[in-house]
Amino acid sequence: MDRNVAEDLFSACEKTLASLTEAEHAIHRIADEEERKRLLRALSEVITEVLMSLRAPVVRQHPDLEPSPVLGQPDTDLSEEEEELVSGLKGEDLGLIDKALLSASAQSWRKVARVVGTALNSLQDQLPDVPVGYYARRIAFLVSSGSLESQGNLEYMRFSEVRLLGVEHGAA
């Protein structure tokens, strides 16, 4: 891909993702829970598509376009309210989350953001209020327990990847 085209595509993706973040804030203000869930699912699918189908191929060909990350607050940090909410989760809830995360993982490397988004969407009806950051924490737990292998910084979903452990991996 020509460098100028890559720069234009990368810039367009960044602008699109910024606009989609604005849409997310608006969607969270919708009072009707079912409508809010439906729109958040649709937004999640659009963001995943932009990241995986447009932005990732550009960055693979021109890695220098990816800016040095401004990490900011880790994705695994939760507010006091979120901490209180997750403290009430039962063992069965944790099992559902872990199973969904493992189901969203693969033998090949996958971005933690993708794994978490897929798991979150699959459990939206059963565990609608569990924050994204808690799913990221469970990824770290699954890595420490030997179910997943990781690379990158697990505190930041965009900058880490996981794959299923215990499977013979070919050349990466």
Residues of the chain with pLDDT > 90, as a percent, come to 65
Query: What is the pTM for the complete model shown?
Result: 0.60
Q: Which whole-number Å values give the CA distances from 101 to 22, 28, 67, 155, in the listed order?
A: 27, 24, 28, 16
**Tens digits of per-residue pLDDT, 95-148?**
999 999 999 999 999 999 999 999 999 999 999 999 999 999 999 999 999 999
- What is the residue-averaged pLDDT of the chain? 90
Where in the chain are the domains? 1-67, 74-172
Percent with pLDDT over 70 in the chain: 94
pLDDT, tens digit, 9 for 90 and up, residues 21-44: 888 888 989 999 899 999 988 988
> How far apart are alpha carbons 58 and 135 in whole angstroms?
28
The C-alpha atoms of residue 18 and residue 57 are separated, in whole angstroms, by: 19
The yes-or-no verdict on residue 172 having pLDDT over 70 is no
Q: Domain 74-172's class? A: mainly alpha
Give first-to-last CA distance, the chain, whole Å.
Answer: 23
Residue 32's Cβ-count burial label (10 Å; 0-12, 13-18, 19+) is: exposed
**Residue 155: both structure tokens together:** 């505190």
